[in-house]
């Protein structure tokens, strides 16, 4: 009997599978399809201080082996997330939740993290300093070690839960930024958010997305995620939640061998709403195929091969 359990900063998960923020809403809609308690955890929709409508349409563009999105952090705001969305989720999911928090200023990050920290079911706070499809915020905080460290330090000062900094791949040295977050007190790293891309309509000769640029997700970015997780694992001692292009159990094993402890599944949920369940069902079989008894034994295993 294989053991799929992993531990993230003291939070034990039955398996490493976590639906990624932005691709799973606030989760409860998926409860109509399967029992959410089979998940390791889930990361809910990116949340800001004030409600956000998001970017203008079109927000989605197909690409070979993936998609571009420029939703723009549409969400009802932190107060309604706490008063309305979390109670609905608590009714159908009974494990610690990953709270994804976004912002446009240090004050906003601090405000939202301090509020969500008080919610009992929140197990980990995932601080998104890497959103590629909003203007004047989000990713700008995650592109320099100094600003990433400043947000980390400020958030850690007002929270008691583990804080994981979600990093952008749209940088020259992601390991340097991860190291800065670790030194500022981060408990873990989430990576990668989406690389930036553009698609152009050949008939109109204009960008397909209303925002022009969007974040690329889907199987095409898996090798980028593996490479960056590899680099960050070599640079830090704190755990990594890996993501980027995961659509099957073998992808989970690959990210874990590169250095991830938890694995988020994003765009695959949009293509196949049963993706997370299928990956969880597949995982023990793939572990047996490769002679893996305990998932924790393979974390970073490729570095010692």
d(CA 155, CA 139): 16
Given the residues 23, 112, 113, 131, the one annotated as active site: 131
- 181 tagged catalytic: no
Alpha-carbon distance of 66 to 227, in angstroms, equals 18
DSSP string, 79-97: HHIIIIIHHHHHTT--S-E
CA 44 to chain CA mean position, Å: 9
Cα 149 to chain centroid distance, Å, stands at 19
Alpha-carbon distance of 195 to 219, in angstroms, equals 13
Give yes or no for a contact between 108 and 116, defined as CB atoms under 8 angstroms apart.
no
Pair type for strands 196-197 and 11-13: unpaired
Q: What are phi and psi of 197, to 5 degrees?
A: -150, 170
Q: Rounded to a whole number, what is the distance in angstroms from the first to the last CA of the chain?
A: 25
Residues acting as catalytic residues? 131
């Amino acid at each position: 009997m294989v053991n799929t359990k992993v531990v993230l900063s003291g939070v034990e998960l039955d398996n490493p599978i976590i639906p990624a923020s932005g691709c799973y809403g606030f989760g409860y809609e998926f409860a109509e399809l399967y029992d959410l308690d089979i998940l390791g955890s889930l990361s809910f929709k990116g949340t800001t201080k004030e409600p956000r409508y998001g970017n203008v349409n079109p927000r989605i563009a197909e690409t070979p082996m993936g998609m571009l999105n420029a939703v723009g952090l549409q969400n009802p705001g932190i107060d309604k997330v706490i008063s309305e969305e979390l109670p609905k989720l608590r009714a159908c999911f009974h494990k610690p939740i990953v709270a994804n928090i976004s912002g446009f200023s240090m004050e906003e990050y601090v405000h939202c993290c301090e509020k969500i920290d008080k919610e009992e079911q929140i197990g980990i706070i995932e601080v998104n300093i890497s959103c590629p499809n909003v203007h004047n915020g989000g990713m700008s905080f995650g592109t320099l070690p100094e600003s990433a460290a400043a947000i980390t330090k400020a958030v850690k000062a007002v929270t008691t839960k583990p804080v994981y900094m979600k990093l952008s791949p749209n940088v020259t040295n992601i390991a340097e930024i991860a190291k800065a977050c670790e030194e500022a007190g981060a408990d873990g790293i989430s990576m990668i958010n989406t690389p930036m891309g553009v698609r152009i309509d050949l008939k109109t000769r204009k960008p397909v997305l209303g925002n022009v640029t969007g974040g690329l997700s889907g199987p095409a970015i898996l090798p980028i995620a593996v490479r960056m997780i590899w680099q960050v694992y070599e640079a830090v001692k704190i755990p990594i939640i890996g993501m980027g292009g995961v659509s099957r159990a073998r992808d989970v094993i690959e990210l874990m061998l590169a250095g991830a402890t938890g694995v988020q599944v994003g765009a695959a949920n949009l293509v196949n709403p049963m993706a997370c369940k299928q990956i969880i069902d597949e995982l023990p079989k793939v572990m047996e195929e490769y002679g893996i008894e305990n998932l924790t034994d393979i974390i970073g295993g490729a570095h010692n091969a």
